[in-house]
Amino acid sequence: MHSDRPRDVLIPPLGLAGTLTLPVNARGLIAFAHGSGSSRLSPRNTLVARALNHRGLATLLFDLLTPQEEQDRSNVFNIVMLGDRLVAAIDWLQSQTSAIADLPIGLFGASTGAAAALIAAARLPDRVAAVVSRGGRPDLAGNALPHVRAPTLLIVGGADSGVIGLNEGALARLQEPKALEIIPGATHLFPEPGAMDAVIEHASRWFERYLHSPSSVRAASRQSQ
């Protein structure tokens, strides 16, 4: 599927820079939350976004911090603030035309951005339909984890040993549906041949399975129990 050209946007109230891509007949929209030291221009997230566009999913890549805020390293670990930024982005998306506002929303978080995505999902249980974490620190979402109702997939590199344990601990605190996928031999940034391809495949399948209205996902989950 051919996607429309990416469109530069500004997310209120701070005017955070973003890139919105809306494929023809999009079936859902994925908002990205990048990790520490990264931005909307992250080559790994951009790669994932393009793959999702080709599968008929719209994407929003945006900066979680202003240029001034990026100068203070502590801001990249202010998970509550980053979660607030993601909530504001979702609010903005749902104030747009029906072609955007009516799409079910998924979140894709990397590194510390994964914790922000989970905090946003916990705060917006009726609006976030699915979450995927890549090499994330979901543990940093803390007490928000048990309140996440969106189906959540945690993807970790098999050679990222310390982060594997943190993801296993976070997984235990999440509600079903949930899953942990370990990419054999991959390190934290998944630079190994085929590693990002595996991430894209797992993430795409998860979104395609669960990117419906959150209420319908929960109803199906209860029926299967």
Structural domains in the chain, sorted by start: 7-224 (3.40.50.1820)
Taking phi over 0 as left and psi of -120 to 50 as alpha, with beta for the rest, 167 belongs to: alpha
The answer to whether 114 and 33 are in contact (CB under 8 A) is yes
- 181: pLDDT strictly greater than 50: yes
What local confidence, expressed as pLDDT, does residue 161 receive?
Answer: 84
- Helix or strand run (H / E) with residue 183: strand 178-183
* Report field, pTM of the whole predicted structure over 0.85: yes
pLDDT at 213: 63
Q: Is the pLDDT of residue 7 over 60?
A: yes
Is 80 exceeded by the pLDDT of residue 214?
A: no
Ramachandran angles phi, psi of 84, nearest 5°: -60, -40
**Average pLDDT value for residue range 88-104:** 95
DSSP 178: E
Among 99-113, 142-156, 202-216, the range scoring the smallest mean pLDDT is 202-216
Looking at residue 57, the DSSP 8-state letter turns out to be: E
